[in-house]
Amino acid sequence: MSDTSFKIGLFYGSTTCYTEMAAEKIQTAFNRLFDEHVVDIFNIKDVPLSQAEQFEVLIFGISTWDFGELQEDWESSWQDISQLNLKDKTVALFGLGDQLGYTQWFQDALGMLHDELVILECNIVGYWPNEGYEFEESKGLTKDGTHFVGLSLDDENQYDKTEQRIESWTEQLLLELDSDSQ
């Protein structure tokens, strides 16, 4: 992926700004890796989800609310996901949640978004190990339960790990994008 003529579209929904801040950190990490601006950020409250179709590489950010519920902007746009043409596009996901306060629903929205996107025949990348988290259940896990379906952040209980997780994940994505392009 040494050719930086591509752009990454990052689409997120954020109620309390934590997902927005994570999106900005991801943008900064990618821009640092490429030494130029490669990530365009969009708040789905302000931009139709259909704009995602303009990008070959996408990142979607979502948070889980309360007892496994979708963030409000994603909930309002949920029906639009199935209308997207993302066939053969590369998609990565990140989610925010509270693993201690909502231990039975940690990253559920991340898993629900993943399930909606998989049927669109896109190439999902960026699965993230579930080591270092404390929770009981999650719809955000892969079938074998060893990974989350995207980067998992918990700014409520593990804020001190967010920066390093984002750095590691963006480096992982870069490697996965590189192998996809070969």
Per run of 10 residues, the mean pLDDT along the chain (length 182 residues) is 70 96 97 92 97 97 95 96 97 97 97 97 97 96 97 97 98 89 61
DSSP 49: G
Closest CA to 124 of 58, 182, 75, 79: 58
Encoding tokens for residue 14?
A: 């954020």
Start-to-end CA distance of the chain, whole Å, equals 9
C-alpha torsion sign, points 100, 101, 103, 109: negative
| pLDDT of amino acid 164 | 98
Measured between alpha carbons, how far is 65 from 102 in angstroms, rounded to an integer?
Answer: 9
Parallel, antiparallel or unpaired: strands 57-65 and 8-12: parallel
| pLDDT of amino acid 179 | 78
| pLDDT of amino acid 59 | 98
| pLDDT of amino acid 181 | 65
The domain limits of the chain are: 8-180
Q: Which CATH class is domain 8-180?
A: alpha beta
